[in-house]
Chain A
Amino acid sequence: MTAALSVDNLWKIFGASADKIIGTPDAELSRADLKAKTNCVVGVKDVSFEVAPGEVFVVMGLSGSGKSTLVRLLTRLIEPTSGTVSLNGMDITSASASQLRDVRRKQVSMVFQHFGLLPHRQVIDNVAYGLEVRGVAKKDRRAKAAEIVELVGLQGYEKSYPDQLSGGMQQRVGLARALAGDPEMLLFDEPFSALDPLIRRDMQNEVIRLHRELGKTMVFITHDLAEALKLGDRIMILRDGEIVQIGTPDEVVAQPADDYVKDFVSEVPKAHVLTLKWVMREPRPGESMDGPALPVSTIVRQAARAAIASDAPIRVMDGDTMVGVVDEEDIMRVVVAEEES
């Protein structure tokens, strides 16, 4: 199966004659040193990863880590300095202007932090904009847009103007606009950072629902770890434009690649993220083996009740084979460790 998105050795350096830096020893300098030496700023540094079809791939990092630059490189809203980006096997980096336009029109849509809506157009025409630039007839595109407006729960607001809507509703319009072209992939650039927490939670749930219903591949940029853990199938952590770690949420929490990531995940309620895989152990000799069986992917928190209720340890199963056991004490250790930290 080809990857939906494949990125190889992607670089972005801002500044004059930036392309001359890659391949020289200067490229190995830290961001601050390079800035001091050449007055160029590294946005994205030698990044490679793949995203499988239907996957939700979260890119996470603090501000200035290069994540927003990275997502713009994917459809060349910013031109990469070097490296390749392939979508379903098609090389984006060498695509002509019209090929690129076609990709943007049909394959990849993007949702932006500050919405980027057209203030002089009604909701319905904002949603239909992507279809309009493709040349879809007015009637058809409005019909399609009306469907999508309903899908994101904005029915009744078709004729409103963006400035009449709350931030959360505006972002729903942004989401609808991205969905209207029926793209294979959605890119989200910190879409919910500008929203207040309750609305943000609603919108996250909305994305989860849409992903379940439509099954699109998603690349999701965020600086919020909780959001990353909640949405991501896999998480990529960036710092100063470089990949620090790529892994599933529980991997990132259980095995942080370095102190930077460790610091990041230290506040995460581990019992809510870790699966039994990370807390199970070999059965001790003489331990009772008639406790309940749970799959290895069970989240620790969900296993807690069973562990307390049972005298015997839980048997952790990978399919039909038992891979380890977990008892009440093992689970308590995760929960208590957290409270102490």
Chain B
Amino acid sequence: MTATIAPSAPKPVEPGAAPPVEERKSLSRWIPAVAILGVWIVLWSFTNGTSTLALPGTSRTGLHDSLTEFQNDLLAGRSTNPVMQFTNAIADALRSAVEWLQRMVVLPNFPRPVPEVGWLGIVAFATYVGLLVANWRIALLVAASFLSFGVFGYWQDSLDLLIITGISVLLAVLIGLPLGVLIGTNRRANQVVTPFLDFMQTMPTFVYLLPIVLFFGIGPSAAVVSTLIYALPPLIRIAGFGIREVSATTVEATDSAGQTYWQRLLKVQVPMARKTIIVGLNQTTLAALSMATLAAFVNGPGLGKPVLAGLRINDVGTAFVPGALIVVMAVMLDRTTTAASERAEKVARGGGGNPRVRQGLIIGGGVATLVAIYLSRTYVSLAEFPTYTIGDRVASATSDGVDWFTDTFGGATEWVKDLITNQFLNRTQALLADSPWWLAFAAIAALAFVFGGVRAFISTVVCLTGIWYFDLWHDAMITLNMTLVATVLVMILAIVFGVWMARDRRVDVGIRPILDAGQTIPPFVYLIPVLALFGPSRFTAITAGIVYAAPAAIKLVADGVKAVSPTTIEAGRSTGQTTWQEITKVQLPMAKGSIVLATNQGLLYVLAMTVIGGLVGAGALGYDVVYGFARSEAWGKGLAAGITIVLLGVMLDRITRAAAEVRRDDGPTTRRAFNVRLPIGPPR
């Protein structure tokens, strides 16, 4: 019933009172950091190559085998273990839901030789939905997208992917909206749920596939469960955030009119948060799409499968067409949900066009859709998408193009690759991975202490101990190295482009749509063009990670720099500062919070991508996971690698967060951004 107002932050002293205690300006953190690095290098030069705990790619340790054993035991006791019975029941329900939908729209529904509704009906229905929720332009986009799925020869995979995505989003909404409302209105619930969300979002997508397979089997059920787990946090988080952000004055003012809890929720909080909630839905949909693609690893149906098949044999041509269709689907879903929210906004404000015209559209479109569905049920040619060869032709043209490119520019790309690999990657890798494990352990923990304080130090020691325990220390250091190198490159890009965008509106207007588009594309797809350019290697994985992480990081930095108060900049200018001084003395220091946040995000994105990069020759932990999928006797090693990746992620996240928290000049925007960390996609 009552709004609580917390006691305000320490007030500035009033005239007459003693001046505030002078804060001791601590030593710049970079001095001890460089010192630690120096000691590390000196010790390394004596000890490198010893006690590195390197484990060859195909060998396992006793721990790994006992994990495999554990899995076998669980599987053997499947029929008696209540947890397994429960998860299996869920898996069965999900599988039958997916299969029922497949029989409705893509697979023959016995005794019919074709699905209940054929392609014409589906295209008409999807177009009609686009028209209803958005406008005719979106309807055209939807129609064109669906037709392209069929014309390029991936009708069934495309619809399978949509089915997995759709079911996951539906479940995410059913679970996520109530939870979002709960954490938005109840502070204690928020404190309980937030660490779980943090953890779920820190975990690289690739990692939870292995345990999910154990409990839910492979195929559609595992695909839906993993997609749901990945897609749920953004919705909960953004919905909760939207509700919490509703103006306290408005809540208080309407409370003072004597409203009940439900009146406040339904008439004030939810309507005022509606726009944000729809952003959450958009994010969740795109997250679901990107995870549903990756679920090909667990034999999840959809476009991910042909992409994966292509990547496995390093055949860019094969992967290209389905990859492009995934992009088409992502753009379609993004544009449709965005336009739907814009339309909802317009309708809520009494707009939305002439109701009579609209009514005509609804009825006319509905009738046309029904006719199309009827026709598609009656004529086989309208039920099964006709076969075109254009998809194959594009694939072989792409292969030829890639070959030509490699022949012509191979030297140049090779040169870049070798330069970065030899000058940068190999050197830092030597330090991290060839140090004795205890040296690297101590050095990383010390650096964590310098940058993040005691709490980060403790988290780091716990995580490193876990990594050591799981017997993949050497691989973990190689993955960590790739992640760090890629993040450094991401941050260079982020600061250069971020500052440029913030300072020049035209640059912002030009670049931002590209970044937005980049963020809507599922990460899996990035691998394809990068693989085409550089072939399978560590460098390829790093490049894909950079491409994946850069848009988010650039936007964060740009927004942070842009948020610097114009008054402060004006005041600085009035003292006659140069542009360079303005950037380095005012804008960047004041945007520090955003830069730390961008680093945090960059690290997690890049880590996720370097792990997926195991598929394209990045080796290390990513390879261990892939290997665990492929060989049943290596399952335990795959799981150990997965856990190690999570530990790396948690460690990096804790250090960067703590680094952000110890700054006192952090604006509320940074704190807020940390609260709604988005796995993908722009906060609009």
Contact = CB atoms under 8 A, between A and B. Distances in A.
A102 B3 CA distance: 18
A15 interface: yes
A76 B258 contact: no
Contacts of B11: 64
B255 A118 contact: no
Contact of B5 (A78, A101, A174, A181): A78
A77 to B, nearest CB: 6
Interface stretch (A44-52, A103-111, A144-152, A306-314): A103-111
A132 B250 contact: no
B7 A120 contact: no
B2 to A, nearest CB: 5
A79 interface: yes
B252 A132 contact: no
B1 interface: yes
Contact of A120 (B1, B253, B254, B348): B348
B425 to A, nearest CB: 52
Contacts of B263: 133
Contacts of B254: 116, 118, 129, 133
Given A118-B271, A133-B267, A105 B249 contact: no
Contacts of B348: 120
Given A130-B258, A133-B259, A76 B2 contact: yes
7 contacts: A40-B7, A116-B249, A116-B253, A117-B253, A118-B267, A120-B349, A133-B259
Contacts of A109: 256-257
Contacts of A106: 258
Nearest to A98: B260
Contacts of B251: 116
B264 to A, nearest CB: 9
A11 interface: no
A138 interface: no
Contact of A101 (B250, B258, B274): B258
A103 B7 contact: no
Interface in B232-258: 247, 249-258
Chain A: number of interface residues, binned into ranges: 35 or more
B249 A75 contact: no
Contacts of A15: 7
Contacts of B3: 72, 77-78
A41 interface: yes
Q: Which of A69, A72, A113 has the most CB of B within 10 A?
A: A72
Interface string B267-309: 1100110100000000000000000000000000000000000
B2 A77 contact: yes
B256 A115 contact: no
A40 B8 CA distance: 11
Interface string B513-552: 0000000000000000000000000000000000000000
Q: Which 5 A-B pairs have the closest CB atoms?
A: A116-B253, A104-B258, A105-B258, A130-B257, A116-B249
A130 B247 CA distance: 18
A78 B4 contact: yes
B258 A77 contact: no
Interface residues of B, number: 31
A104 B7 contact: no
Given A104-B255, A159-B350, 17 more contacts: A69-B5, A75-B256, A76-B1, A76-B2, A79-B2, A97-B1, A102-B258, A104-B258, A105-B257, A110-B253, A112-B249, A117-B253, A118-B250, A119-B250, A132-B267, A133-B254, A133-B260
Contact of A14 (B6, B258, B267): B6
A150 to B, nearest CB: 20
B256 A110 contact: yes
A207 interface: no
A200 interface: no
Contact of A174 (B253, B255, B271): B253
Contacts of B249: 112-116
Interface string B332-349: 000000000000000011
A161 interface: yes
A177 interface: yes
Given A15-B7, A161-B349, A177 B257 contact: yes
Nearest to B247: A116
A20 interface: no
- The CB with the most chain A CB atoms within 10 A, among B2, B251, B258, B349, is that of B258
A46 B42 CA distance: 68
Contact of A181 (B252, B257, B272): B257
A112 B249 CA distance: 8
Nearest to A12: B5
A134 interface: yes
B263 to A, nearest CB: 5
Interface string A64-77: 10000100100111
A112 B350 CA distance: 27
Contacts of B256: 75, 77, 104, 108-110, 187
Nearest to A102: B258
B250 A116 contact: yes
A132 B250 CA distance: 16
A120 B8 CA distance: 30
Contacts of A72: 3, 252
Contacts of A97: 1
Contacts of B274: 120
Interface string A139-167: 00000000000000000000101000000
Given A97-B1, A134-B258, A77 B7 contact: no
Nearest to A106: B258
A100 interface: yes
Interface in B1-20: 1-8, 11
A132 B258 CA distance: 10
Contacts of A174: 253
Given A69-B5, A100-B1, A120-B271, A112 B257 contact: no
A78 B2 contact: yes
Nearest to B2: A79
Interface string A300-340: 00000000000000000000000000000000000000000
B252 A116 contact: yes
B1 A133 contact: no
A78 B5 CA distance: 8
Interface in A199-221: none
Contacts of B257: 104-105, 109, 129-130, 133, 177, 181
Contacts of A104: 255-258
B350 to A, nearest CB: 8
A158 B438 CA distance: 73
Interface string A225-261: 0000000000000000000000000000000000000
A112 B253 contact: yes
Contacts of A134: 258
B240 to A, nearest CB: 19
A77 B255 CA distance: 8
Nearest to A68: B5
Nearest to B13: A32
Contacts of B258: 100-106, 130, 133-134
Interface in A277-306: none
Nearest to B5: A78
